[in-house]
Amino acid sequence: MSTPQLVVHRDKQLMAQAAAARLITKIVDAQASRGTASVVLTGGRNGNGLLAALAGAPARDAIDWSRLDLWWGDERYLPEGDPERNVTQAREALLDAVPLDPGRVHAMPASDGPYGKDVEAAAEAYAVQLAEAAGPENHGSVPTFDVLMLGVGPDTHVASLFPELPAVRETERTVVGVHGAPKPPPTRISLTLPAIRAAREVWLLAAGEDKAQAAAIALSGAGEIQAPAAGAYGRSRTLWLLDAAAAAQLPRSMYPPASP
């Protein structure tokens, strides 16, 4: 378990730009050392804000888009192309503007796909896809994600792991169906905490005053069942990327001064 490291930026826009620059460097370094990179995207305003910032970043095409695997931490279980699906929003923010290898863009199943209303079957299919991409060093569960990004909800949820609901309690499976999510839509697919914790680095994105309480709770030693964000950590790095508004309730000693 890697101890959370915090970086606080002046505002939401600068946090998105700085996080995008950080992601470019991380991907370029991974591709330079291993010939490929694997990133897990998150939905939500902060996640999509980062992708939009990346789309406009001057160094964007330092990334070899053809050698990048993209996965999702969660997905709203809606029909293909629904504007509320995380993959739809990611395509609009960035993916449709860069030359990705379509075979390496691993969207989670849609509700009008082969699994129909059976979200558990859809989740299991994604778990199989992850296992098939895993190398022998991954103990057959999920591939080694270079970076797994998670937006943080005001209730401290990450992905579609909501406080006290069954999905956050899952300790074996890597992907589960979610019913009755308090954040609409109610039916979702989500990576579980064991899958999240397989990532080399986990980056939690929290910007805006509506995230201040969640950040304070998650970083104060709360349990992962009550505060799922507290259970989201990477094998070698756990990085909280905040803006000053989201950091407002944190002890000042917890992080260096916000960027100028």
Ligand X SMILES: O=C(O)[C@H](O)[C@@H](O)[C@H](O)[C@H](O)COP(=O)(O)O
Return residues touching ligand X (CB under 6 A).
Answer: 42-47, 74, 76, 86, 151-153, 157-159, 183
Smallest separation (angstroms) from ligand X to the CB of 62: 26
Whole-number minimum distance, CB 227 to ligand X, in Å? Answer: 14
| Interatomic CA distance for residues 9 and 19, integer angstroms | 10
Nearer of residues 138 and 155 to ligand X, judged by Cβ? 155
CB of residue 147 vs ligand X: minimum separation in angstroms? Answer: 15
Among residues 56 and 186, whose Cβ is nearest to ligand X? 186
Between 178 and 222, name the residue whose CB sits nearer to ligand X: 178
| Shorter beta-carbon distance to ligand X: residue 4 or 44 | 44
Q: How far is the CB of 220 from ligand X (least distance, A)?
A: 19
